[in-house]
Amino acid sequence: MRPCINGATTMPYSLQEDIVFGHKAKFEGIEIWYEKLKKFFSEGNTPVKLQELLWGAELDPAALCGFPLIAFSDNEQAIQELVKAAQIAPQIDCDTLLVFPGDVQPAGVSKPEAIKKAAGALQIYAEAIKPYKVKIAFEPIGMHPYVPGPQEAMEIINIAGSNNLGIMMDTFHYYKSGVSLDDIRAIPVEKLFIVHINDCENLPLEQLTDKHRLYTGLGVIPLVDELKILKEKGYKGFLSVEIFRDEYWKESPEKIMLDAKKNLDAVLAKLG
């Protein structure tokens, strides 16, 4: 399993800073926050320039993130943006786009109906980006009405039926949704495209929000148990530290990166 940093963890800082300090902290991968990527290009930079920066920093681009799955209203603009990202991704040797549920079903729509509707939308997304040979990692969201965990995500993917679809695991969202170790064990490893790793404060689940995320090992999520399962399953992909915390964002990008890597290493050391 490969250590990776997500651009949300350093949200106030630029893509260039993410790359420089991600390298200094000895991460192997970087999830590129799409808004930072657009700003990078707006300043006159090119995909070739970005690829050079990534090569120089010895960072593999794990994914571009994130893109909303709009299933219950007009999604033409969202699909256009996804296709733009899919066109860029191969130019920087990135093969994955992160998609999350961007809306919820209207009143009166049941969960099974919502899952079928979402599957139809996700199939359209998947087909739209197939020419660019990239894949979608679909993210369950903590306590989401129709996709709170991997069981629902896999159902949506199976109904959609496209071969460039898989799921992602976010330890915070899985914890908030009460996803069990057995649920994690049941995820087909070939469909687990990426893992977001983080910890969180000890609060009632319904009170938890993204701002309660912590560096790994500093909270209550059973990360070691979860990682042991991933190791047993043969998962060899990225473990991407994704944390939305104002307290951390006030620190320098170098300190954020070093703290993220130090705490991830400490958890990984417990795997034996």
Please confirm whether the linkage preceding 44 is cis (ω < 30° from 0). no
DSSP code per residue over 185-249: HTS-GGGEEEEEE-EE-S--GGG--GGGEE-TTSSSS-HHHHHHHHHHHT--SEEEE----HHHH
Rounded Cα gap, residues 108 and 256, in angstroms? 44
Q: Where are the alpha helices (DSSP H) in 12-110?
A: 15-24, 34-42, 47-57, 76-88
**Residue among 183, 190, 196, 139 nearest 163 (CA):** 190
Q: Which residues of 186-223 are buried (b: 16+ CB within 10 A; e: fewer)?
A: ebeeebbbbbbbbbbeeeeeeebebebbbbbbbbebeb
CA pair distance 38, 145, nearest whole angstrom: 31
Instruction: Give the H/E segment covering residue 100.
Output: strand 96-101
Q: What is the pLDDT along the chain (272 residues), one digit of tens a residue?
A: 999 999 999 999 999 999 999 999 999 999 999 999 999 999 999 999 999 999 999 999 999 999 999 999 999 999 999 999 999 999 999 999 999 999 999 999 999 999 999 999 999 999 999 999 999 999 999 999 999 999 999 999 999 999 999 999 999 999 999 999 999 999 999 999 999 999 999 999 999 999 999 999 999 999 999 999 999 999 999 999 999 999 999 999 999 999 999 999 999 999 97
Q: Which of 206, 209, 207, 214 is nearest to 263 (CA)?
A: 214
Q: pLDDT at position 255, please? A: 98
- How many CB atoms neighbour CB 55 within 10 A? 12
- Say how far apart CA 30 and CA 22 lie, in whole Å: 7
What is the 3-class SS of 123-143, one letter each residue?
Answer: HHHHHHHHHHCCEEEECCCCC
Backbone φ/ψ region at 46: left (φ over 0), alpha (ψ -120 to 50), beta = beta
> β-strands 165-170, 213-214: how paired?
unpaired
CATH number of 2-271: 3.20.20.150
pLDDT of residue 272: 76
